[in-house]
Amino acid sequence: MTVTGAPVWAVVPAAGVLLALALAAAVLDSVLDTAGIGADGTAQAVRGRRWSRPLAEAARLMRQRGRTTVEPDRLLWRIGTAGPLVAALLMAAVVPVGGTVVADLPVGVVWFNTVDVTLWAALWLAGWGPNSVYPLVGGYRFVAQALGYELPLMFALTAPAVAAESLRVGEVVRAQQGLWFVVWMPVAFVVFLGSVAAFGAWGPFSSPVGRDAAGGVLAEAAGVDRLLLLAGRYALLAAGSGMAVALFLGGGAGPWLPGWLWSLLKTLAVLAVLVVLHRRLPVLRPERIVRIGWLVALPAVLLQVLVVSAVMVAKG
Amino acid sequence: MQTALFCVLAVVAVASGAAVFVVDSMARATYALALSFVAVGVSLLLLDLAYLGVVTVLMMVMEMAIMAVFMVMFMMNPAGFMPMSMLHGKRAALAVSGGVFLALAALALLVPWPDRRGAAPADPTRAAGEAIMGSKMLVMIGVSAVLFTTIVAALVLAVARGRYGDDESAEHGHREGRGPHNGHGGGHGSHADHGGPGAHAGHGDHGGRIDHARHGTHAASRPEGSGT
């Protein structure tokens, strides 16, 4: 399947699709979440329509008054708050849907990597801005765990690029005709998925927004600020899932259905896996993430890149 | 169009570079520098050096995110609440930097730039790499792998004993009475109460526990604490 760039107006539907996927993830998460916090602060079973909670919550947050703190760094706080959603949109720009991509960059893979690195800054700033202890703790936790996941993520991105002999995401999709990369790069795929969860501060990597720190980066965010951060988190997961589909799961390849539908279905499937696993795994402290990242994931994914390189050299 | 874009980027790069020395807060100074580097990276894109431009942004944002941590940790006045100047030895610095700027600008304007011979290569990044490395490319690639392995090995050796003394106890870091570092884990938050007004002046009020300089700075740097 060849991938071509789209006209400029494609930015709007692409953003819509990303937000719809983020909403889908939030709905699934809400449906799976059977326990809520009751009025007395204890966990209680939630009755009623759980699937509509994300939209109701969004509506509530939009009407809620924003919160301010004593001497916040408002500029940096705003930048940090907008950061995750903006980063997700920038990532989605290089993710092909079927045979179309918003920006067919020759260095799409590096672009994706660069945007996820800006999250280091965004989350730290979102923690720094409010001049409050718990967000600050969350921001530092994110930078600490970023040190753990970033290098494995870089090498996980390297493997498909080496196999496709190109940094263009469209070329990576095209190189998977016949055999999806997930088949012979399972380690890179798993590390990539883990890194997506990590830069989304999700599941085992959610200590930056952890309950033990009163919500961490989210602790002081209210109203639209909170909505932006929460939506940004889901959008990051959605964009990362889309990239996983393009890099490892053959993009829009599949029988009967049109390519764009396959891309979306696969993205939803990966997203669902991330959302479901989120409730099944314990939260890891950043120092343990660094240990796992550097002592397990990094050597494993380096070996994976070695295997891929050897195969490519042998193929000539 | 390209010229206009370049002018905008150049102004952003220089202005945010100057802002580094104007703003009080270390966080703002660091990220002003990051913005300056991003503008430089984007202007590389104008030269069709897509890879170099994007990688410059990647490296610089990452570096600045790390640097912000160290700036806040070691510099005075991390949050910009105290009056302080980043400028030292103003006159000499002004003379030197002004002179260097004028000299470089004069060079750029006065040197007779050669006209382009031949067409631009299809992949300028590859061409730039080959022009710089030439026949040493393979050696450089080999060296980069060795360097990277060295960094990983050095880190593994340096931190093998872990943060809490010996390795396995890292899992039980907040056991009480395990040396000066106990109480990390959930302990960050507890430093809020060290952060009364004036706590910034030093870490003396942490009872001389040097290790607190590391944890305590966060709280101490924002003396007002939570406003909720």
Average pLDDT value for residue range A157-184: 91
C-beta atoms of B152 and A298 within 8 A = yes
ipTM for the whole complex: 0.88
pLDDT at position B107, please? Answer: 93
From the list A110, A118, A291, the residue facing B55 with the nearest CB is A110
Query: Taking residues B7-34, what's their average pLDDT?
Result: 90
pLDDT at residue B166 is higher than 80: no
pLDDT at residue number A51: 81
**Structure confidence at residue B23 (pLDDT):** 83
b/e map A78-94, b = 16+ CB within 10 Å: bbbbbbbbbbbbbbbbb
Q: Report pLDDT for A254.
A: 80
Q: Tell me, what DSSP letter sits at residue A285?
A: P
Asked if the Cβ–Cβ distance from A140 to B218 is below 8 Å, we say yes
Q: Is the pLDDT of residue B79 over 90?
A: no
Residue of A nearest to B70 (CA): A140
**Per-residue pLDDT reduced to its tens digit, A100-133:** 889 888 899 999 999 999 999 999 999 999 989 9
Q: Which amino acid is at B42?
A: V
Contact B31 A121 (CB under 8 A): yes
DSSP summary character for residue B115: P
Neighbours of B74 (CB within 10 A): 11
What's the rounded Cα separation, in Å, for the pair A218 and A233? Answer: 11
Average model confidence (pLDDT) across chain A: 89
CA distance B159 to A49: 50
Q: Closest-CA residue in chain A for B80?
A: A73
Of all residues in chain B, what percent carry a pLDDT higher than 90? 24
Strand, helix or coil for residue B45: helix
Q: Is the pLDDT of residue A187 over 90?
A: yes
Cα four-point dihedral sign A78, B184, A211, B168: positive
Secondary structure letter of residue A253 according to DSSP: -
Backbone region of residue A4 per phi and psi (left: phi > 0; alpha: psi in -120 to 50; beta: other values): beta
Return all residues near B54 (Cβ < 8 A) that are at least 6 apart.
A107, A110, A111, A114, B41, B45
How many Å apart are CA B14 and CA B149, to the nearest integer?
37
Token pair recorded at residue A236: 């990051």
The lowest-confidence range among A22-26, A148-152, B108-112, B137-141 is: B137-141
Q: Report the C-alpha gap between A218 and A220 in whole angstroms.
A: 6
Q: Quick one: residue B20, left, alpha or beta (phi over 0 = left, psi -120 to 50 = alpha)?
A: alpha
pLDDT in tens, A7-18: 888 889 999 999
Instruction: Check if B222 contacts A (Cβ < 8 Å).
Output: yes
Average pLDDT over residues A44-62: 80
Nearest to A69 by CA among A135, A123, A124: A135
Partner-chain residue, chosen from A68, A110, A285, that has the shortest CB–CB distance to B54: A110
Locate A265 and state its tokens: 């279905």
Tell me if chain A has a CB within 8 Å of the CB of B28.
yes
Q: State yes or no: pLDDT of B28 exceeds 70.
A: yes
pLDDT at A148 over 70: yes
- Residue-level pLDDT at B214: 41
- Per the prediction, chain B carries an average pLDDT of 73
Give CA torsion, residues A135, A141, A147, A149, to 10 deg: -100
pLDDT number for residue A257: 86
pLDDT at A50 (0 to 100): 76
CA A69 to chain centre: 29
Interface of A with B in 222-281 (CB under 8 A): none
Q: Is the model's pLDDT at B161 over the cut of 70?
A: no
Q: Does B81 touch chain A (CB under 8 A)?
A: yes
**Coil, strand, or helix at residue A154?**
helix
What pLDDT does A263 receive? 92
* C-alpha triplet B160, A159, A243: angle, nearest 5°: 105
Q: Is the pLDDT of residue B228 over 50?
A: no
Instruction: Express each pLDDT in B102-133 by its tens digit.
Output: 999 999 899 988 888 888 787 777 888 888 88
CA distance B217 to B78: 9
Residue in A closest to B34 by C-alpha: A121
Which chain A residue lies closest to B30 (C-alpha atoms)?
A121
